[in-house]
Amino acid sequence: MKRFNWAFVLLVMGILMLAGCGSAPAEGTTSNSASGETEGSGESEGSGKTEITYWYAWGDKIQENNENLVKMFNESQDQIHVTAEYQGSYDDLHAKTQAAFAAGNAPEVTQNEIASVGVFASNGMTENLTPFVENDDIQMDDFVEGLMGNSYVDGNLHALPYLRSTPILYLNTTILEEAGLDPAGPKTWEEFEEYATKLTVEGERVGITMPIDIWFFEGFVAQSGGTMLNEEGTEIAFNEQPGVEALTFWKELEDKGVLKVPTGDEAGDQAKQDFGNGRSAMLFSSTADLSYLLGVASEQSFDLNTTFMPANEDFGVPTGGANLVMTAGLDEEKQQAAWEFIKWMTAKEQTIYASKYTGYLPSRTSAIESDEMKALYEEKPQFRVAVDQLEYANPRPMAEAYPEITKLLKDQIMRVVLEDLDPQEAMNELAEQGNGLLK
């Protein structure tokens, strides 16, 4: 096992204390336990079951999905009882997990947002799952290849795909048709700019509201043939031509007034609100928001379509979402219980359930090819878009310094788009700082 980075954890604990208790559960949800009982009630206390805890991120339909699946697991057997606990956003979840691990009371199973899989593994916080997979002869080739890039660290399997996503382009096709545009949506950057321009009505609506999101930026860089880091993950690459071209494109759209850039902690929510109430006609968001946004469209009486992120030199998109991990240092009984839960949660039947319930990608090929998913894609083709887009998908960088670099990059992009900064100079400046962090 690699040496544990206590300085890293102490830093995270400091962040956690500043963040307070994290985000509250989604409106209308009250329970933090899949047992449905009040906190601390200990449903299976004295029952002889092995007790483990599972921490997860995000509310609304995603929270419901997690709670439902854990309840189903508990009812499916009588050896293990899992308590599911909501922890807020990915940042909240990661900070709390790191602090809990340092304090010796981490959950047995938790989620790692995929770019953080390497950070947790390299700091000795997650268990190598390779022996468990080999012992149970898990058919790893059934996991979708495009979703496996953030599962291995130093040749060892540390995470299995669970709630996985890509960003997709959501379209209010009612507005598009009123503007005389093809409801199938734009296929290229040039068409995207044309759509955004025609859909903008001064004082009433913009083509798209888009927060500065590094996940989206990763996609635009890939669409020009670029990468965020070099192949070895040791040097910054986003200051090369593809990254500068992507940033310049965003700045031009904002300067024209066809792209609205919300700021602050609620920027993502603002973009969804603008789309939902017709103040923007397009939206980049995770496929995980599909079920939610279909509900919004129904409530607001407009038609919704989805399509790929637009291409420049080619299509390109990052994958995202969460993988399941087992925390390190468990005794044999807890390890086996944690593995049984992870194995069950990532099986074909459960990935079908989660995909239908939320819009997240099915992580198993057998799930995608199942009659149940084929019927869904026939009825609601919006669900198929993210699956087809996986042909152009890329894993996220897992360098230990990457999460810190992305925070700096987000601030720098914001300055370029909203202020009068030269994109190339701004990216070069940040690249120098980022290379220092990588080393």
The domain that holds 229 is classified in CATH as 3.40.190.10
- Whether residues 371 and 418 share a domain: the answer is no
Are both 151 and 134 inside the same structural domain? yes
On whether both 305 and 358 belong to a single domain, the answer is: no
**Any domain includes 41:** no
What pLDDT is attached to residue 259?
98
**Spatial separation of the C-alpha atoms in residues 392 and 224, rounded to whole Å:** 12
Return the pLDDT at 60: 87
- Does residue 2 belong to any structural domain of this protein? no
Q: Structure tokens of 193?
A: 């700019």
Residue 306: strand pairing partners: 170
**Does residue 1 form part of some domain?**
no
Q: For residue 391, give the nearest of 151, 166, 153 by alpha carbon.
A: 166
The count of domains in the chain is 2
Closest CA to 386 of 259, 291, 298, 279: 291
**In sequence order, what are the residues at sequence separation of 6 or more whose Cβ sits closer than 8 angstroms to the Cβ of residue 352?**
362, 367, 370, 372, 373
Range of the domain at 210: 174-318+401-438
pLDDT of residue 118: 92
Residues 159 and 202 in one domain: no
In this structure, the answer to whether residues 11 and 134 fall within a common structural domain is: yes
Residue corresponding to tokens 């540390």 = 158
- Indicate whether 419 belongs to any domain: yes
Query: Are 290 and 339 in the same domain?
Result: no
Q: Is 330 a domain residue?
A: yes
| Nearest alpha-carbon partner for 186 in 308, 318, 283, 314 | 308
Q: What is the pLDDT along the chain (439 residues), one digit of tens a residue?
A: 333 444 444 444 443 333 333 333 333 333 344 433 333 334 445 568 999 999 999 998 999 999 999 999 999 999 999 999 999 999 999 999 999 999 999 999 999 999 999 999 999 999 999 999 999 989 999 999 989 999 999 999 999 999 999 999 999 999 999 999 999 999 999 999 999 999 999 999 999 999 999 999 999 999 999 999 999 999 999 999 999 999 999 999 999 999 999 998 899 999 999 999 999 999 999 999 999 999 999 999 999 999 999 999 999 999 999 999 999 999 999 999 999 999 999 999 999 999 999 989 999 999 999 999 999 999 999 999 999 999 999 999 999 899 899 999 999 999 999 988 899 999 999 999 999 999 8
- Which residues have CB under 8 Å from 47's CB, separation 6+? 81
Question: What's the Rg (C-alpha) of the chain?
Answer: 22
Phi, psi angles (nearest 5°) of residue 67? -65, -40
346 and 418 housed in the same domain: no
* pLDDT score recorded for residue 420: 81
Same domain? 429 vs 294: yes
* 160 within a domain of the structure (yes/no): yes
Give pLDDT, residue 47: 67
Assess whether 135 and 153 both reside in one domain.
Answer: yes
Same domain, 123 and 268: no
Task: Assess if residue 78 is contained within a domain.
Answer: yes
147 and 23, same domain (yes or no)? yes
Say whether both 312 and 328 belong to one domain.
no
